[in-house]
Structure 1
Amino acid sequence: MILWDSGGWEETMMTFASIALVVASTMPMAEPAPQAASKPNFLFILADDVGQEVLGCYGGQSYPTPHIDRLAQTGMQFDHCYSMPVCHPSRLALMSGKYPFRHGQVTWGDYPKEGEGKTFANLLAGAGYATAVAGKWQLTLLGDHPDHPARLGFQQWDLFGWHEGPRFYEPMIYRKEGVRPDTLGHYGPDLYVRSLIEFMKAHRDQPFLAYYPMALCHEVTDDLEEPVPHSPFGRYDSYAEMVAEMDRNVGRLVAALEALKLREKTLVLFVGDNGTPQTLIVRAEGKELIKEPVYSRWHGQVLQGGKGKLTDGGTRVPLIANWPGTVPEGVQSQALVDFTDFMPTLLELAGVPVSSDRSLDGVSFAPVLLGESDGVRRFAYGEEAVLPKPGGVEPERTSLGLHWVRTTDWKLYNDGRLYDMRQDPFEQRPIGRDQETKAQHQIRTQLAKRQQQLRPE
């Protein structure tokens, strides 16, 4: 069992913070050229397998996250951001502004070819943004499609090959020129962050999108012929160690923006792609991978991760927005956000018109970020992972393809289960039709109508 409390990490985190500031402050200090106020920079951080219970600012008690907590304290923290329950469907929704089912039968590790030119990166690049991505690319096998990041709008990339090699120690990292030959003895997350810092430094005189889909805090690749290398300690990193590295790297990136005098010109978004893992690979014994459950302490309760489930444990994720002088400080927003909303939000803030024929599911929450609205979206949507595996073999699923529509307080599954999420956040007591009140019946009717509009069965 993996269960960490915070005491032993405070000294380590102070060291991490000091290193981050030194790294950023030693960069050459050239005065940036002016940017148009209507074209902010975007540092978009997508953490991997990090639920709300992990972060201190959301009530997490197992892992110190001082840099991320600081972003929340000096920015806007969202209580109701909803992803898909696993990695790839969340990325489909994020990149396209559309729900996964809209894309038809897309395999794991794939992206619909007809949608490649309509990603948020391509649209921002078309509006004059410099674009870069570093970290995890789970949208194709880069060995088969090495130009895929460019097709989706990125001009620069440092990405580990999804299910092609290691992501952490001695990582296999692709650039435009091919697989990097210089990663021996290096730790992947350090290389990804260094790549983005160099990119932001090189493009500080024009608006940029620096997209960081983290490798952290996902377990190591589990389906290679030989297990990936252990850490220098003869095992894989624990979940607590990965959380510490995640927070340290967020601190490095923010410190770099400050050193480059770009903080007031940059919207920093931090969000998790789905819930915390239920288990984690901790070591390899020969070719056998040994797993242990992951537990975290949250508001005095001990919770196992919920990744892969349609519950809040799998889909309710942290979202923090920080933009000094523009996003109000110290706000805990109750606005409803889902993963299709990031694309129209970035485009609106960048002044990029969204074509009316694109039929996005997303709703821009830019008015919330600017302090002009308490919320725009009325319903959020989530669906189970029903994408077929490569080769056409589909995973097991319910006959209906389980999905839900919800508000902040109420949640209706397409199998008829209705939950009062204020009173029953762990979904232990579904409200049956024969026991619901008149008010609850009206809520069911409203949610069912929205569900039918989205996905007629």
Structure 2
Amino acid sequence: MKIAYQSFLLLTVAWVTAGNADESTPPNILFIFADDVGQEALECYGGQSYSTPHLNELARTGMTFNQTYSMPVCHPSRLTLMSGKYPFRFGKVSWGDYPAKAEAQTFSSLLQHAGYKTGIAGKWQLCLLADDPLHPQRMGFDHWDLFGWHEGPRYYDPMIYRNGKVRIDTKGFYGPDLYVQSVIDFIKTNREQPFLAYYSMAVAHEVTDDLTPPVPHGPLGRYDNYAEMVAETDRNVGRLVAALDALELRQKTLILFVADNGTPPEIIIRAEGQELIKVPVVSRRNGQDVPGGKKQLTDAGTNVPMIANWSGTIKPGQVVDDLVDFSDFLPTFMDLAGQPLPDGLELDGVSFANRLRGTGSSTRSFAYCEEAVLPKPGGVEPDGESSGLRWVRTQDWKLYNDGRLYHMAEDPLEQYLLTAAHDDERRTAIRSQLQGTLNDLGKPAADQLPIRAQD
């Protein structure tokens, strides 16, 4: 405790003496994108099942966001993240694909044109790299080390594409170690110029489930369990922060940690021949058991953790309720880079850079989410029926397109449906405003109007 307290005093003094970073100098961006990690997995969000000391420290010395919203599963989240647009804007996009017409306008492409060096390691999931090994280059990355999504293992003896070619030096290695080292090497090489280092984590996603034979077990004769993968998530963050410290880059670098969707309800723990054995994932948060909510449109599936840390610019210990959704990252990164958006580029996102700089809050007035209705590669429709649900929400209220309204400030688990037949005057106004936003989303982004739902 004494050491932690002394560290806090030193950091506070450093922040006060350094003042805000020079806004004329664009920051480096270390973007850490965790896979299948809900808020309940992190101690800094009230989690009690897993130890996350490095993420706790990142939150304690930075800014924690309470209301960041993803899509309910990974591919639509990545599509929104990279493009600054909601998935429905692109029509039907195959699972694990990216619309060719939007490749030149990803956040990585735009930062690259703004003078940033760009690198990524870990998960891609925007194409099958065997079919299109230079896809990351067209999407704006100068360097990449990416595992072959449904082409090979991501953990033990991983199959990794480096700049278009499969690596032959991964036998006997653990994938996350190689991805983290790739990010660190990229940062070292490019530390004299602005950089975007994007660590798209493998953890805490289960192993690939559709290969014959199944991917290799780890040294314990099974796959990593969820607790082990959360520990690995935290360890990876610690290694990257330590690297920035060693290179004296902390005051020049925004660290942004966010997850792609909620925790899975179950994960594959081992293979018995071709049969994959799964176990449920239930975590403890603030004294309550929380089953994994991935694939759900509830908060358990879409209200994800986000921590921002920028030594000398972000004041320590802040917790904010600004609405953020995944369309906001592209305009935020461009704002931080001091670059205007290209003429004619219409986005759903709004910048929250002023919140990071400490000069204001985000202007976002609603968040949006939609159920994944994506065909598999080759145009095959996904298994099962899809209702095409979507919602808009403010901090306090949430409306689905099937008419369900919830007062999220009092009912975060969505247990008490508010029907239109029983609306009072206040709820009628709120419902009308939110419904108007849902209707308005069908218009071009430039023609949309913001909403301010009543408290």
Q: Deviations over 1:247-279 (max 9, x none)?
A: 001000000000000000000000010000011
Matched, 1:279 2:302: no
CA distance in 2, matches of 1:234, 1:376: 50
2:212 to 225, 228, 246: 225
Q: Displacement, 1:288?
A: 0.3
Q: Which residue matches 2:69?
A: 82
Are the equivalent residues in 2 in contact too, given 1:296–1:304 (CA < 8 A)?
Answer: yes
2:295 to 308, 312, 328: 308
CA distance in 1, matches of 2:347, 2:371: 20
Q: Deviations over 1:174-200 (max 9, x none)?
A: 011510001010000000000010110
Q: Which residue matches 2:442?
A: 455
Q: Which residue matches 2:321?
A: 334
CA distance in 2, matches of 1:418, 1:432: 7
CA distance in 2, matches of 1:177, 1:79: 38
CA distance in 1, matches of 2:361, 2:348: 20
Q: Which residue matches 2:120?
A: 133
- The 5 A counterparts of 1:189-200 are 189-200=176-187
CA distance in 2, matches of 1:408, 1:215: 30
CA distance in 1, matches of 2:339, 2:360: 20
Q: Deviations over 1:339-382 (max 9, x none)?
A: 00001000000011112411100000011111122331000000
Deviates more, 1:82-91 or 1:365-374: 365-374
Q: Displacement, 1:37?
A: 4.7
Are the equivalent residues in 1 in contact too, given 2:70–2:303 (CA < 8 A)?
Answer: yes
Q: Displacement, 1:391?
A: 2.0
Gaps of 5+ in 1: 1-34
The amino acid of 1:368's aligned partner reads R
Are the equivalent residues in 2 in contact too, given 1:328–1:370 (CA < 8 A)?
Answer: no
Matched, 1:364 2:351: yes
Q: Which residue matches 2:171?
A: 184
Q: Which residue matches 1:143?
A: 130
CA distance in 2, matches of 1:420, 1:375: 22
- The 5 A counterparts of 1:27-426 are 37-395=24-382, 396-399=384-387, 401-426=388-413
Give the match's secondary structure for 1:372.
Answer: coil
The amino acid of 2:377's aligned partner reads P
Are the equivalent residues in 2 in contact too, given 1:133–1:196 (CA < 8 A)?
Answer: yes
Alignment TM-score, normalising by the size of structure 2: 0.91
**1:329–1:180 Cα change, 3 Å:** same
Give the match's secondary structure for 2:79.
Answer: helix
Q: Displacement, 1:425?
A: 0.9
Q: Displacement, 1:438?
A: 1.2
CA distance in 1, matches of 2:86, 2:434: 17
Q: Which residue matches 1:28?
A: none
Q: Displacement, 1:394?
A: 1.4
Give the match's secondary structure for 1:280.
Answer: strand
Deviates more, 1:369-378 or 1:405-414: 369-378
The amino acid of 1:286's aligned partner reads G
CA distance in 1, matches of 2:263, 2:164: 34
CA distance in 2, matches of 1:397, 1:127: 43
Aligned residue-pair number: 422
Q: Deviations over 1:24-66 (max 9, x none)?
A: xxxxxxxxxxx99522100000000001111000000000101
**1:36–1:129 Cα change, 3 Å:** farther
Deviates more, 1:171-180 or 1:209-218: 171-180
CA distance in 2, matches of 1:247, 1:205: 27
CA distance in 2, matches of 1:397, 1:331: 42
CA distance in 2, matches of 1:266, 1:130: 14
Are the equivalent residues in 1 in contact too, given 2:74–2:260 (CA < 8 A)?
Answer: yes
CA distance in 2, matches of 1:439, 1:339: 30
Identity of aligned residues (%): 64
Are the equivalent residues in 1 in contact too, given 2:352–2:361 (CA < 8 A)?
Answer: no
The amino acid of 1:431's aligned partner reads L
Q: Which residue matches 2:431?
A: 444
Give the match's secondary structure for 1:72.
Answer: helix
Q: Displacement, 1:69?
A: 0.9
Are the equivalent residues in 2 in contact too, given 1:264–1:323 (CA < 8 A)?
Answer: yes
Are the equivalent residues in 1 in contact too, given 2:48–2:284 (CA < 8 A)?
Answer: yes
CA distance in 1, matches of 2:360, 2:155: 41
Alignment TM-score, normalising by the size of structure 1: 0.91
Are the equivalent residues in 1 in contact too, given 2:35–2:260 (CA < 8 A)?
Answer: yes
The amino acid of 1:336's aligned partner reads L
CA distance in 2, matches of 1:184, 1:393: 34
